[in-house]
Structure 1
Amino acid sequence: MAGSFHGLTVFNNNVHAQNSDSLSQADIAEPLFDIEKETYIGTILQNAANPTFRFDPRKGKSPSAFFAEVDPTPSAPGINEMVKPPTFPNVSPVAPDGLIVSSPGFHFNEQNNAMSAFQNALVPPKPNITISNSETDDGYNVFSKAGCIKCHAGSYFTNHQIIPADKIGTEPSRAKALAKTAKIFAEPLLYSPTENVPIRKNARVLKIPLNNIDEQQLRLGFAHDGKGGYKTPSLIGLYWQAPYLHDGGVAVGYEHNYGLTGTLLKGKPVDPYRSIIALVDRKERQKVIKANASLHSVHITGDGHSFWVDQESGFTKKEQIALAKYLLSLNKGRTEQQ
């Protein structure tokens, strides 16, 4: 929500600073995971795939002392090339994991911003679906009549709002993932993008403005309300995004095989068209949820997003098909399509 590229840079940084290097969280393991720092490091390193980083508790060294001897990036937590922002080890709206990925020789945050610029230039390929102008009109009319347009609004089919998890009804585990950051939440401070890495002493610090962000949306985004939520996704390129929903659970194959257990986990592709039908048809969705029963313990159900376009909601099969084809045909913004 905050920072450059309307928050996209924050998202890109979070993927590379946290999700690809669990050691980067060692300094905040206790408030976030209730795990003491040494235990956290040792637990991760004792099963390291690379023998160089494999910690052996029988050799008498502490996990942090052992890691210090093999750490390829001693100036940063973990092994990735990262910079500690002014608020480290606390997290903030612009550093949700407390760190910023930046390599020596680059400007601060330059690589994350470059990734954001690249992503903003991407255009989905044309979907493998044929739809006439009249079918497009029919599909859009159903899209409006069913109320999809209330959330998937505007030129890019999103209102850019975070919807509470209990309202959207999908698997809430990821929505809650950042809830404990409330304990160590700091103001949004970053070094100036003109600063070079490694960061010099007395480097310029900027406070990133949050005055354009609704406070309730901020609480929802970080689950500081205890529940969290999900941002309304754009529908552009929907054809290429199957399986659907936040847990990726809505999957139907070309052979009418249901759920992830009947498709990807068996090496069988997911059919975007049949999966979209399952997204809006409650009878088809129940087949998906039933097929995913063995995955519920890992938070994959295919449940939620109960906005139906089916016979029980007063829509004909023809209207349902029109909506599905319309949704899967979207690969440009509404203004561009017009």
Structure 2
Amino acid sequence: MHAQNADSLAQAEISQELFGIDKEVYIGTILQNAAHPRFRYQPTTKEKPSAFFAKVDPTPKTVGVNQLVAPPQFPKVSLAAPDGLVVSEPGYRFNEQNNAVAAWQNTLNPPPPNERINEERAARGREVFVRAGCIRCHAGAYLTNNRVIAANVIGTEPSRAQALKKTENVFGEAVIYAPNTPVPIPKGAKVLKVPTDHLDPEQIRLAFAHGDSPGGYKVPSLIGLAWSAPYLHDGGVAVGPNGELGLSDTVGKGVAPDARNSLRALIDRTWRQRVIAANAADPALKAVHVTGAGHGYWIDCQAGFTKEEQEAVLDYLLSLTSR
């Protein structure tokens, strides 16, 4: 649903500020490899890429090719529209579809885990979870405090924490069109300022890596861990059902990471070191900054926990399938 992820052409107006790439070069680079011949730009022509795109654009009244609406601050981005644009189709109201999808998503719960969970042991695991201090961040109904933790504190691979850093070059005021505004947006549509004074400035700096901030990662919910392996912010903590280590020997070979084994590697430093070593042996993973390192919060023998307590915590984590 986000412009940056779904429609690369939507970033053409700020390609210089975000990527250091001239707008024409940016459009031409994308379109010269278009899958459909109609949209494929030929660099040997003298035509500007933007002029070529204007002739073949399937949505000429919107930015890019998807059904997107440019909020009032466009081409700048903002806290209200971090991607700079909002998905909204003609015939709907501004942002109506996004809100509808979000409301539906909020009704979903993950299915039960594939393995049978011992409820008594899971209850003991909850006690260990609290005693280990996990509750400091993973609290509340969704088991998250919704805070952004600095990358140099959490210790995970830092490159993704810097992903939005250059948005500082084009950061604007958080404004949106009124929710009852029809699409296409009419002239003189009402513009609303989004309240942001209550937000923690340091959290904003961490989320966007603005200024000298190292950037950070938001504490994720633990609901549905049984279905979300591999783990960590880089997806690098993966162990297969037969002990296969790292992404190369699991996902890379078509082997689904096992949730229990992968979670064990998340909280047991001996297993984690094996996973990190396996990932490090693959140059392809190094190229995309996947290590499986960081989040050094352990529930293992070295931290004073027994093997039975560790297994109880795993049962608890795998049991988290509803809010």
TM-score normalised according to structure 2 size: 0.96
Among 241, 265, 273, the alignment partner of 2:252 is 265
TM-score normalized by the length of structure 1:
0.92
Q: Does the 8 Å CA contact 2:239/2:246 hold for their aligned counterparts? A: yes
Other-structure match for 2:207:
221
Assess if the C-alpha contact under 8 Å between 1:129 and 1:325 holds in 2.
Answer: no
Q: Which residue is 2:262 aligned to?
A: 275
Give distance in 1, aligned partners of 2:262 and 2:71: 43
Distance in 2 (CA, whole Å) between partners of 1:181 and 1:132 is 47
Tell whether the 8 Å contact from 2:178 to 2:192 is kept in structure 1 after alignment. Answer: yes
Report how far residue 171 of structure 1 moved: 1.5
**Are 2:247 and 1:256 equivalent residues in the alignment?**
no
Match of 1:28 among 1, 11, 14: 14
CA contact (8 A) 2:118 2:315 kept: no
2:197 corresponds in structure 1 to 211
Mapped to 1, the partners of 2:318 and 2:297 lie a distance apart of 17
Q: Name the SS for the 1:57 alignment partner.
A: coil
Give the C-alpha shift of residue 195 in structure 1: 0.6
SS in 2 for 1:206: strand
**Cα distance, 1:185 vs structure 2:** 0.7
Moved more, 101-110 or 130-139: 130-139
Give the C-alpha shift of residue 119 in structure 1.
0.8
Residue in 1 that maps onto 2:227 = 240
Other-structure match for 1:316: 306
5+ long unaligned stretches in structure 2:
none
Alpha-carbon offset, residue 22 of structure 1? 0.5
Would the aligned equivalents of 2:222 and 2:320 in 1 still touch at CA under 8 Å?
Answer: yes
Q: Please say which of residues 272-281 and 49-58 is displaced more in the overlay.
A: 49-58
How do 1:117-196 and structure 2 match up within 5 A? 117-196=103-182
SS in 1 for 2:192: strand
RMSD: 1.1
Identity of aligned residues (%): 57
| 2: CA distance, partners of 1:19 / 1:170 | 23
Q: Is 1:198 aligned with 2:184? A: yes
5+ residue gaps in structure 1? 1-12, 334-338
Aligned counterparts of 1:267 and 1:137: Cα–Cα separation in 2: 34
The CA distance in 1 between the partners of 2:227 and 2:117, in whole Å, is 16
Shift of 1:137: 2.4
SS in 1 for 2:149: strand
Question: Of residues 45, 49, 59 in structure 1, which corresponds to 2:35?
Answer: 49
Task: Note if contact 1:129-1:329 (Cα within 8 Å) is conserved in structure 2.
Answer: no
The letter for the 1-side match of 2:295 is H
**1:143-175 CA distance string (max 9 Å, x none):** 011111110011221111111111111112221
In structure 1, C-alpha distance between the alignment counterparts of 2:198 and 2:278, rounded to whole Å = 43
- CA shift for structure 1 position 111: 0.8
> 1:24-77, CA deviations, whole angstroms, 9 ceiling, x for partnerless residues?
000000011001100100111111111111110112101001101100111222
Counterpart of 1:67, as a letter, is F
In structure 1, how many angstroms separate the alpha carbons of the residues matched to 2:198 and 2:157? 29
CA distance in 1, matches of 2:23, 2:99: 31
Deviation sequence 1:190-224 (CA, Å, 0-9, x none):
11110101100000101111133211111111111
The 2-side partners of 1:103 and 1:265 are apart by: 38
Report the 3-state secondary structure (helix = DSSP H, G, I; strand = E; otherwise coil) of the residue aligned with 2:59: coil
Instruction: Give 1:56-95 correspondences, 5 Å limit.
Output: 56-95=42-81
Pick aligned residue for 1:291 from 257, 269, 278:
278
Mapped partners of 1:305, 1:325: distance in 2? 20
Offset of residue 134 of structure 1: 2.4
Is the 8 Å Cα contact of residues 165 and 228 (structure 1) preserved in structure 2? yes
What secondary structure does 2:176 align onto? strand
SS at match of 2:114: coil
Deviates more, 1:214-223 or 1:123-132: 123-132
User: Is 1:108 aligned to residue 94 of structure 2?
Assistant: yes
Contact between 1:251 and 1:288, CA under 8 Å: does it hold in 2? yes
* CA distance in structure 2 between the partners assigned to 1:132 and 1:260 by the alignment: 29
Amino acid in structure 1 at the alignment position of 2:125? G
- Count residues in correspondence: 319
